Amino acid sequence: MWAAGPPNAVTPSRRNSPASSPRDPRLVTAGFYTVGLTPHCYDGAMLKVELHTHTADDPEDFVPHTVERLVDRVAELGYDAIAITLHNRQLDVEPYRDYARSRHIVLIPGVERSIVGCHTLLINFPAAAAEAVHTFDDLATLRTESDGLVIAPHPYFPVPSCLRQELDRHPDLFDAVELHALYSRRIDFNRRALAWARAHGKPLVGNGDIHRLGQLGTTWSLVDAEPDPAAICAAIKAGRVDVRTAPISFPRMLYLLATVMPSGILHTLGVGRTG
């Protein structure tokens, strides 16, 4: 369901195409994984999508870039759509839609919600309803009352905010599993997520968990959909998504772990405030 290729192998904007024909049974190498492609019949172009980003509006993490800077950078890299997913606050993206549209970027509302302490991506739900989710029972109610996309982000990373066993307890509440860009050939916490997604028949989405603009461009999703938030979510639910990914270097991974991902720690110490 996800395929490989160096970060620059995908043609920018709406000219993206699937990695192989629907009849091609080959196995392809993604990073250093070997997985099979899902045999979908894609019609025309695919959208380059990132569904896990943070901006300076984030109430919990230090993030130096604005929405406009993020939009500018993803446009430069040939993305077609992004979701902005602040921690526990859903940003109103309406004031930014015209700016994004002028750069051919679709903005998707979202939030990285802490549910009993576990991070969960809620994409394209009504803001008030998404922010009211505190428990997995609340999440089940949200899914029955609203049509959005629920993603398990970095579910098996070794930090307390990751889902881990909660993913096993509530598999039906999740539409997709995140393949996180923060991995190298030596260290990779995505392996269990990949195995879980395979075992449960869930699509993978490639996300960068963007806290710095330099994180963009190594892992993303290609989605077979029209450039519309609801259409993108529906396509992912239906499995019409492939992942493009490449590992980062081990030193780069250590740098990001130390300076970006636990941003609150070093920000508190006054280190790295300029991003």
pLDDT at 256: 86
pTM over 0.75: yes
- Structure confidence at residue 262 (pLDDT): 53
What is the per-residue pLDDT across 41-54, written as a single tens digit (0 to 9) for each? 444 589 999 999 99
| Domain span at 16 | 3-37+50-78+104-266
Specify if 92 maps to a domain. Answer: no
Question: Which of 176, 122, 158, 263 lies closest to 167 in space, CA to CA?
Answer: 176
Secondary structure percentages of the chain, helix, strand, coil, to 5: 30, 25, 45
Residue 132 pLDDT greater than 70, yes or no: yes
With respect to residue 94, please indicate whether it lies within any of the assigned structural domains: no
pLDDT at 44: 54
Give the mean pLDDT of 61-67.
Answer: 94
Indicate whether 84 belongs to any domain.
no
Give burial (CB, 10 Å; 0-12/13-18/19+) of 36: middle
- Does residue 169 fall inside a structural domain? yes
Which CATH number does the domain housing residue 11 bear?
3.20.20
Q: Mean pLDDT lowest for which of 24-28, 194-198, 215-219, 266-270?
A: 24-28
Distance CA(248)–CA(181), nearest Å, equals 8
In degrees, rounded to 5, the angle at the alpha carbon of residue 245 between the alpha carbons of residues 239 and 249 is 155
Residue 26 has pLDDT above 80, yes or no: no
Distance between CA 35 and CA 129 in Å, rounded? 37
Residue 91: inside a domain = no
- On whether residue 25 sits in a domain, the answer given is yes
* 12-34 average pLDDT score: 36
Query: Which three-class secondary structure state does DSSP give residue 83?
Result: strand
The number of domains in the chain is 1
- Mean pLDDT across the stretch 44-72? 94
**202 and 175 in contact (C-beta within 8 Å)?**
yes
The chain-wide mean pLDDT, for the chain, equals 83
Q: Is residue 229 part of a domain?
A: yes
122 close to 150: Cβ distance less than 8 angstroms: yes
CA separation for the pair 207, 215 (Å, rounded): 10
Beta-carbon contacts of 180 under 8 Å, excluding residues fewer than 6 positions away, are 153, 154, 157, 189, 190, 193, 207, 208, 209, 219
Specify if 271 maps to a domain.
no
Please give the pLDDT value at position 257.
Answer: 79
> In whole angstroms, what is the distance from residue 222 CA to residue 20 CA?
13
Per residue in 212-225, pLDDT (tens digit) is 999 999 999 999 99
| Residues ≥6 apart with Cβ < 8 Å to 199 | none
